[in-house]
Chains A and B, each alone.
Chain A
Amino acid sequence: MNRLRVDPSCCTGCSSCELACSFAKEGVFSLLLSRVLVRRDGENASFRPRVCIQCAEHPCIEACPVGALSKQAATGAIQLAEERCIGCRRCVDACPYDGVRFHEERGLPLICDLCGGDPSCVATCQKPQALTYIPVDAEGGRSDEPR
């Protein structure tokens, strides 16, 4: 089983991952609908992608008061049962990696589902490799700092 690895030191801030994500998940290009968010400090050329990294602790699942979140057995991705979600944002607040976004109009969180095991964001990041898809138990797989 694999998980996303984020290495902010390699991120070039190009937004390819954000646009690829929204296109894959929503069929449109939108920075607001992406499950990846790149936080930017342009002046210092410092860019930090924020996305669910399928952490072992998954505090988002514990934080959900209605049991709308679960871990997919096949991929290890966090799965949202939209019909149960009450839009309380506790998962957003609980994530230590700033990896859950919230869609205001829908009143729902946006959480990476690993595109079923072939994450489209990773495919756009071949040169910088700020986003990679690595085995869950890989060595050195934790360069992403908590927020």
Chain B
Amino acid sequence: MNQGRQRYSQTILEVNLDKGTVERCSVPAEDVRKFLGGRGVAAALLAREVAGPTDPFEPAAPLIFSMGTLSGTHAPMSGRSNITFVSPATGLYCKANVGGHFGIQCALNGIDQIVLRGRSDKPVYLWIDGEHVQLRDAGALWGCTVRTTTETLEATHGPGVNVACIGPAGENLVRFAAVMSSHYNAAARGGGGAVMGGKGVKAIVVAEPRGSIAPVVAEGFHQARLEVRDALYADTMADSYYNYGTAASVEMMNELGTLPSYNFQKGGIEEIEELTSQYWNKAGLLKGRIGCASCIYSCHRFIRIDEGPYAGAFSAGPEYETVTALGTGTGIASIGALQRANELCNDLGMDTISAGGVIQWAMETFERGALPDEYSEGVDLSFGSEQAVTELPQRIALREGKLGDLLADGVRMAADSIGGESWKWAVHTRGMEQSRVETRGALGYALAFAMNPRGPDHLHTECLAEFGMTPEMRKLIKEIAGDERYARSDIPDKRAEIVRWHEDIYAVSDALGLCAFVTTAAYGATPGRCARLFSSMTGIDMDAETIMAAGRRIVTLERLINLRLGWREDPSSYAPWRLMNERQESLPIENPILDLKRMQRMVREYYALHGWAQDTGVPLPETLKRLELAEFGENGGGAQCSTDIT
């Protein structure tokens, strides 16, 4: 019988790009208990390095790849990984989560965390084959797209390898460049691809793994996994994810007036049919479903356009966020143009949400007559311009021309450059373009976005339950808030409790490698079940309460990192200006705007629940003590990294 690696002990691969050396060390045993693995352990690693405001491109600032503690097993949806870094978009803490097979390939190759430090003076890629790890020349790959890079490296190293790489956007330090893995999976938000590009690293290539992993308590793991699997199959959301993916609700939201469109000026578009996954199925555009490692839903879909001006465009997705970012947000109603834009962003290695965000901002700036003529450069920038969405991704990724270069730095810096009132429709906070979620009608999401360390984004604290769409969601809201009547998204009451619960379990998910859809959208992987999976995997005792406390510890540590990086309480940054100052009349609710007073009330309740100071959002000393985070308080722990930024 094989032994198999046990995950109470975890391994870090330390890559020094200045010296070109690679070393292995162990994650401190206490960190596995306290931070669970994955995103949690990475936050602890970063917290020990960041002492003050840090230039994201400072070579000493690390880029950390983290595998979940369950990754490499068949626990449902357990194959996801994270990257952690200081964001070029916000200057703040950022983690970006990614599916595909990269995480399990690393885990089965014996690696839990990869820390890239320094900067290589020539392009390199990291080759990992079990014990054998090497930096190799990537000169010939520099400038290549994600597809070409992946194909070339697969051809070089043979079948069964997995490639995580950057495209031209990362090389050109586009502030929303992604790290792409397994062809179409993006660690998209916050510009991790630019950090990787700044370090001169084109790719990480992981060999077909020869290693193995074993739970400490095999039978317990088997049972816990069956429980989660059965609950997920039984969840009301299961069929929808499999049949229609994340874009399942586009048509319904359009009808309700809740689908962000025209840069958050409207709640829908007139011609929605082509942008719905129901249409893609019916019209034969859906060519296949893609499962991330260990996924039993397979929400990721592969769409190819067969006819018309965009015939031949193919990629995975578009996901819901891409539909709204590059479709309804720009006024595009054609699946062909949308899929071409999506394909380009994936191939150039860019976040579709921010790419859509900057294009929408450019369109509005143009239509309002605020964009100087020299920026148009032959592109029709009106809303609905297919030319704009299919040509701008390339210009942005290559920083081509005045417009491409302007947009490559994100809407905050673009609006600073153009001036006038253009900042008012730059839909971001702290430099991060908002996910295409209409938070004026979803106060739990609004609070979550305001508190999210990486900016206004759904992938840190998804809290779908507040809409109460399924019996599972309503049951959960009753558990959290005491009554099902709180399962409505337009009231501030109990949002703090709902957000904090989802925040905790989301951190647990990211640490274990679980897809957040199984904890915060479908709800089969409950805290108790996550605890049983973790305990049987590692032999470290954990129950529902202690694992949620670990989630809270991770969230609190991320707040501490952000405080060091210069985050300050700022009510004007609770939401993008537009959402706090312009009503969205299409929303079917009484008060369709993010009123500052309501936001402040929710934030105060949230801070009280966390044990963070009411006026500053700084975790109180007793909170740090309770969460075993005292070593990280008062700038404790941060040793290495800080840049003199003014």
A contact set with B: CB distance below 8 Å: 9, 12-16, 19-20, 22-23, 26-33, 39-40, 42-46, 124, 126-128
Contacts and interface: CB of A to CB of B under 8 A. Distances in A.
Contacts of A26: 1-2, 212
A12 B210 CA distance: 22
Q: List 10 tightest A-B contacts by C-beta distance, closest first.
A: A14-B291, A12-B291, A28-B4, A30-B212, A45-B302, A19-B74, A28-B212, A12-B298, A45-B288, A42-B183
Given A14-B294, A22-B212, A43-B150, 20 more contacts: A12-B289, A12-B298, A13-B290, A14-B291, A14-B293, A15-B79, A15-B291, A16-B294, A16-B295, A19-B74, A26-B2, A26-B212, A30-B108, A31-B208, A32-B210, A39-B159, A42-B150, A44-B302, A126-B233, A128-B291
Interface of B: 1-4, 72-74, 76, 79, 101, 104, 108, 147, 150-151, 159-160, 182-184, 208-214, 218, 222, 229, 233, 238, 242, 287-298, 302, 314, 316
Contacts of B222: 23
Contact of B316 (A20, A22, A45): A45
A127 to B, nearest CB: 5
Contact of A29 (B73, B150, B160, B229): B73
19 contacts: A12-B298, A16-B291, A19-B294, A23-B73, A26-B1, A26-B2, A27-B4, A28-B214, A29-B108, A30-B2, A32-B208, A43-B151, A43-B183, A45-B289, A45-B302, A45-B316, A124-B74, A126-B233, A128-B298
A47 B210 CA distance: 21
Contact of B293 (A15, A33, A43, A128): A15
A29 B183 CA distance: 24
A31 B295 contact: no
Which of B74, B79, B229 has most chain A Cβ within 10 Å? B74
B287 A45 contact: yes
Secondary structure class of chain B's binding surface, majority of residues: loop
Nearest to A20: B74
Nearest to B72: A29
Nearest to A13: B291
Contacts of A39: 159
Contacts of A15: 79, 101, 104, 291, 293-294
A107 to B, nearest CB: 15
Given A27-B1, A27-B218, A127 B242 contact: yes
B542 to A, nearest CB: 20
B75 to A, nearest CB: 9
A28 B288 contact: no
Contacts of B294: 14-16, 19
A12 B290 contact: yes
B73 to A, nearest CB: 5
Contacts of A23: 73-74, 218, 222
B293 A29 contact: no
Contacts of B291: 12-16, 128
A82 to B, nearest CB: 14
A31 B296 contact: no
Given A23-B74, A29-B108, A45-B287, A14 B292 contact: yes
Nearest to A43: B183
Contacts of A43: 147, 150-151, 183
Contact of B295 (A14, A22, A32, A44): A14
B98 to A, nearest CB: 14
Nearest to A15: B293
A126 B232 CA distance: 12
B4 to A, nearest CB: 4
A26 B289 CA distance: 29
Contacts of B76: 16
A15 B208 CA distance: 13
A104 to B, nearest CB: 9
Contacts of A33: 2, 212
A108 B184 CA distance: 36
Given A127-B242, A127-B298, A29 B214 contact: yes
A28 B287 CA distance: 34
Nearest to A21: B74
A133 to B, nearest CB: 17
Given A12-B290, A14-B291, A42-B182, A29 B4 contact: yes
Contacts of A29: 4, 72-74, 108, 212-214
Contacts of B147: 43
A33 B4 CA distance: 11
Contacts of A31: 108, 160, 208-209
Contacts of B302: 44-45
Contacts of B292: 14
Nearest to B162: A42
Contacts of B108: 29-31
A46 B295 CA distance: 16
B234 to A, nearest CB: 11
A29 B294 CA distance: 12
Nearest to B214: A28
A116 to B, nearest CB: 16
